[in-house]
């Protein structure tokens, strides 16, 4: 399942690059559909980086580490 893979990938990436300096909240939109609506989630899995600004949305299983790091402002584009 893509969502389970995305969770595994983001946890691994956060531990590797942020070493405890992050807060990760995982929401199952089947159980909290109102949050999906409020956050305007139209595809799953979706990762929303809220802080530091700007807000970013990453969609997919997050397996392309370079793209995820760039999307989280942890790496410059080459």
Q: Say what the pLDDT of residue 8 is.
A: 97
Cα distances (angstroms) measured from residue 15 to each of 6, 12, 18, 22, 67: 14, 5, 6, 9, 17
Mean pLDDT of 6-16: 96
Residue 78 lies in a domain: no
Cα distances (angstroms) measured from residue 16 to each of 3, 11, 31, 53, 61: 20, 9, 30, 21, 17
Residue 18 lies in a domain: yes
Structural tokens at position 78: 């080459």
Residue 36 lies in a domain: yes
Domains contained in the chain, number: 1
Residue 61 lies in a domain: yes
Residue 49, domain CATH: 3.40.30
Task: Find residue 40's DSSP bridge partners.
Answer: none
Which DSSP symbol is given to 46?
E
Q: Say what the pLDDT of residue 77 is.
A: 63
Q: Say what the pLDDT of residue 34 is.
A: 93
Residue 16 lies in a domain: yes
Residue 48 lies in a domain: yes
pLDDT tens per residue across span 22-78: 999 998 989 999 988 899 998 999 999 998 899 999 999 999 999 999 999 988 766
Give the residue numbers spanning the domain of 59: 2-71
């Amino acid at each position: 399942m893509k969502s389970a893979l995305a969770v595994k990938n983001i946890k691994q990436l956060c531990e590797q690059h942020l070493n405890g300096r992050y807060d990760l909240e995982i929401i199952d939109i089947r159980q909290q559909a109102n949050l999906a609506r409020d956050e305007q989630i139209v595809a799953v899995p979706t990762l929303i980086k809220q802080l530091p600004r700007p807000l970013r949305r990453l969609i997919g299983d997050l397996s392309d580490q370079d793209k995820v790091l760039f999307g989280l402002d942890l790496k410059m584009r080459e």
